[in-house]
Chains A and B, each alone.
Chain A
Amino acid sequence: MSALDVSFNEVGMPAERPLLEIRDLAITFKTSGGEVQAVRNSHLTIMPGETVAIVGESGSGKSTTALAAIGLLPGNGWISGGQILLDGEDISHASEKRMIELRGNTIGMVPQDPMSNLNPVWKIGYQVKETLRANGRPSAPEDIAKVLAEAGLPDAHRRAKQYPHEFSGGMRQRALIAIGLSCQPRLLIADEPTSALDVTVQRQILDHLEGMTSELGTAVLLITHDLGLAAERADKVVVMYRGQVVEAGPSLELLENPQHPYTQRLVASAPSLASRRIQVAKDLGLKSDELLAPTEALVEPSMTENVLQIQDLTKVFKLRSGLGRSTDFTAVDNVSFSVKRGTTTAIVGESGSGKSTVAQMVLNLLPPTSGKIIFDGVDTSTLNSKQIFAFRRRVQPIFQDPYGSLDPMYNIYRTIEEPLRTHKVGNKVSREKKVRELLDQVALPQSTMQRYPNELSGGQRQRVAIARALALDPEVIICDEAVSALDVLVQAQVLNLLADLQSNLGLTYLFITHDLAVVRQIADHVCVMEKGKLVETGSTDEVFDSPQQDYTKALLNAIPGAKLMLPPEVA
Chain B
Amino acid sequence: MKSNRQMEHYVAPLEDTPLLATDALKEDQAPLSLWQDAWRQLRKRPLFIVAALLITLIVIVALFPGLFTQTAPDNNCQLADSQGGPRAGHPLGFTFQGCDVYARVIYGTRASVMVGVFSVICVLIIGVTLGALAGFFGGWVDVIIARLGDIFFALPIVLGALVVTQLPFFRDNKSVWTVIIVILLLGWPSMARITRAAVIEVRGADFITAARSLGVSNIQTLIRHVLPNALAPIIVLATMELGVFIVLEATLSFLGIGLPGSIMSWGNDIAAAQQQIRTNPSVLFYPAAALTLTVLSFIMLGDALRDALDPKSRQR
Tell me the A residues contacting B by CB distance below 8 Å.
3-4, 7-8, 10-11, 13, 16, 31-32, 41, 47, 49-51, 210, 214, 235-236, 241-250, 253-254, 257, 259-262, 265, 363-365, 388-389, 392-393, 395-397, 399-401, 404-409, 411, 418-419, 422-423, 444-445, 447-448, 450-452, 454-457, 459-460, 465, 468, 472, 489-490, 493
A259 touches B23 (CB 8 A): no
Known: A49-B3, A411-B31. A419 touches B214 (CB 8 A): yes
CA distance A296 to B26 in the complex (A): 39
CA distance A405 to B31 in the complex (A): 19
**CB < 8 Å neighbour of B9 from A41, A259, A452, A454:** A259
In the complex, what's the smallest C-beta–C-beta distance from A61 to chain B, in angstroms? Answer: 11
B31 touches A363 (CB 8 A): no
In the complex, what's the smallest C-beta–C-beta distance from B33 to chain A, in angstroms? Answer: 5
Judge whether B25 is part of the interface by a CB distance below 8 angstroms.
Answer: yes
Note all chain B residues with C-beta closer than 8 A to A260: 11-12, 14
CA distance A418 to B212 in the complex (A): 11
In the complex, what's the smallest C-beta–C-beta distance from A551 to chain B, in angstroms? Answer: 29
What mask results when residues 177 to 221 of chain B are scored 1 for a CB within 8 Å of chain A, else 0?
000000000000000000000000000011101111111100010
B5 touches A247 (CB 8 A): no
In the complex, what's the smallest C-beta–C-beta distance from A395 to chain B, in angstroms? Answer: 8
CA distance A210 to B2 in the complex (A): 11
B11 touches A418 (CB 8 A): no
Q: Is the interface of B mostly helix, strand, loop or mixed?
A: loop
CA distance A473 to B216 in the complex (A): 17
Known: A13-B5, A249-B10, A250-B7. A405 touches B206 (CB 8 A): yes
Judge whether B154 is part of the interface by a CB distance below 8 angstroms.
Answer: no
Note all chain B residues with C-beta closer than 8 A to A465: 210
**CB < 8 Å neighbour of B5 from A47, A254, A364, A468:** A47
In the complex, what's the smallest C-beta–C-beta distance from A490 to chain B, in angstroms? Answer: 5
**CB < 8 Å neighbour of A246 from B1, B11, B26, B206:** B11
B34 touches A452 (CB 8 A): yes
CA distance A395 to B228 in the complex (A): 27
Note all chain B residues with C-beta closer than 8 A to A13: 5
CA distance A197 to B8 in the complex (A): 33
Note all chain B residues with C-beta closer than 8 A to A447: 27
Judge whether B151 is part of the interface by a CB distance below 8 angstroms.
Answer: no
Note all chain B residues with C-beta closer than 8 A to A41: 12, 16
**CB < 8 Å neighbour of A253 from B9, B16, B32, B211:** B9
Judge whether B17 is part of the interface by a CB distance below 8 angstroms.
Answer: yes
Note all chain A residues with C-beta closer than 8 A to B316: 454-455
Note all chain B residues with C-beta closer than 8 A to A468: 210, 214
CA distance A203 to B32 in the complex (A): 43
A392 touches B207 (CB 8 A): no
**CB < 8 Å neighbour of B209 from A8, A245, A261, A397:** A397
Judge whether B19 is part of the interface by a CB distance below 8 angstroms.
Answer: yes
Note all chain A residues with C-beta closer than 8 A to B6: 7-8, 10-11
12 contacts between A and B (CB under 8 A): A3-B8, A7-B8, A47-B5, A241-B17, A242-B20, A261-B14, A262-B19, A265-B22, A396-B213, A405-B210, A407-B211, A422-B216
A51 touches B1 (CB 8 A): yes
B22 touches A399 (CB 8 A): no
Note all chain B residues with C-beta closer than 8 A to A399: 206, 209-210
In the complex, what's the smallest C-beta–C-beta distance from A236 to chain B, in angstroms? Answer: 6
